[in-house]
């Protein structure tokens, strides 16, 4: 059975209006997939061809540092787009891996196809502009937090902002995303309990 693509339409409708014919066209061009836990959507060295919208589940984007550590740069949960935009735009091999943290359902479209859809539905370009702009804004905030907060402060802030997320992913992934070690996260948490 085909996954339900409607969350994507709902998301698009938050920014631009779609008529039924356009929804049909999109349905025809998006490919829905179910990704098992720990399966990869993209592996380091491959070229990223797809824009992926997360219908359900959770994925992570990470890279392997020279020290052999996995560094998570990004999570993708429901209603987020995930892709290596650098690789996608330049058709260059990606430095990143994209892997399912939980079993996930995604709607993908490869960049060539998307270009052809833009021609037929110009306002979709508007949707992508807005969505990208929001993602860019979030990314700048992220840089702000990295530079102005200590590790502990970053965790506290994240905890306040996304409480539901804390128990959704393993702590070592959280620690990696926040830019420190699992041991350090453990120490922060034990400090809090003692209060």
Partner DNA sequence: CGCGACGTTGATTTGCCTCAACGATTGTGG
Partner DNA sequence: CCACAATCGTTGAGGCAAATCAACGTCGCG
Interacting residues toward a second copy by CB under 8 A: 63, 65-66, 71, 73-74, 84-86, 89, 95, 118, 122-123, 125-126, 128-130, 132-144, 146-148, 179
Closer residue to DNA (CB): 64 or 132: 64
Which position among 21, 133, 181, 192 is part of the footprint of DNA (CB under 7 A)?
Answer: 181
Q: How far is CA 39 from CA 34, 58, 95, in A?
A: 10, 12, 17
Helix, strand, or coil (residue 36): coil
* Contact call for residue 187 and DNA (CB under 7 A): yes
Smaller CB separation from DNA, 7 or 182: 182
Specify the stretch interacting with DNA by CB under 7 A; choose among 1-9, 75-83, 127-135, 183-191. 183-191
Size of the site for DNA (CB under 7 A): 18
User: Exactly one of 152, 158, 159, 168 binds DNA (CB under 7 A); which one?
Assistant: 152
53 DSSP β-pair partners: 81, 107
CA gap 150, 126 in Å, rounded = 37
The entry of DNA, a second copy, none near residue 195 (CB within 5 to 8 angstroms by kind) is none
Strand partners, 82: 52
Question: Does position 161 bind DNA by CB under 7 A?
Answer: no
Question: What's the CA gap between 53 and 68, in Å, rounded?
Answer: 29
> Minimal distance in Å, beta carbon 76 to a second copy?
13
- For 36, what's the count of Cα atoms within 13 Å in the CB-facing half-sphere? 1
Q: Which of 92, 115, 171, 192 binds DNA (CB under 7 A)?
A: 171
Q: Which helix (H) or strand (E) holds 164?
A: helix 163-166
Helix (H, G, I), strand (E, B) or coil at 92: coil
Cβ within 8 Å of residue 130, ≥6 positions away = 15
- For the bound state, the minimum distance from the C-beta of residue 135 to a second copy, rounded and expressed in Å, comes to 6
Q: What whole-number distance in Å separates Cα of residue 123 and Cα of residue 13? A: 11
One character per residue 132-151, x = contact with DNA (rule: CB under 7 A): ------------------xx
Binding site for DNA (CB under 7 A): 67, 150-152, 170-172, 179-187, 189-190
């Amino acid at each position: 059975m085909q996954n339900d693509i409607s969350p994507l339409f709902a998301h698009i409708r938050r920014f631009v209006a779609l008529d039924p014919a356009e929804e049909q066209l999109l349905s025809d061009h998006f490919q829905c997939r179910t990704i098992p836990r720990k399966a990869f959507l993209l592996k380091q060295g491959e070229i990223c061809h797809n824009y992926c919208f997360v219908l359900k589940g959770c994925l992570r984007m990470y890279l392997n540092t020279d020290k052999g550590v996995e560094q998570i740069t990004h999570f993708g949960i429901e209603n987020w787009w995930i892709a290596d935009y650098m690789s996608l735009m330049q058709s260059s091999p990606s430095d990143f891996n994209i892997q399912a943290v939980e079993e996930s359902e995604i709607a993908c479209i490869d960049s060539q196809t998307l270009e052809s859809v833009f021609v037929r539905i110009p306002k979709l370009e508007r949707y992508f502009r807005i969505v990208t702009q929001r993602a860019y804004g979030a990314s700048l905030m992220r840089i702000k937090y990295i530079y102005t907060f200590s590790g502990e402060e970053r965790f506290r802030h994240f905890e306040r902002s996304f409480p539901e997320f804390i128990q959704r992913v393993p702590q070592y992934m959280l620690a990696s995303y926040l830019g420190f070690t699992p041991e350090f996260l453990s120490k922060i948490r034990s400090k809090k309990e003692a209060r």
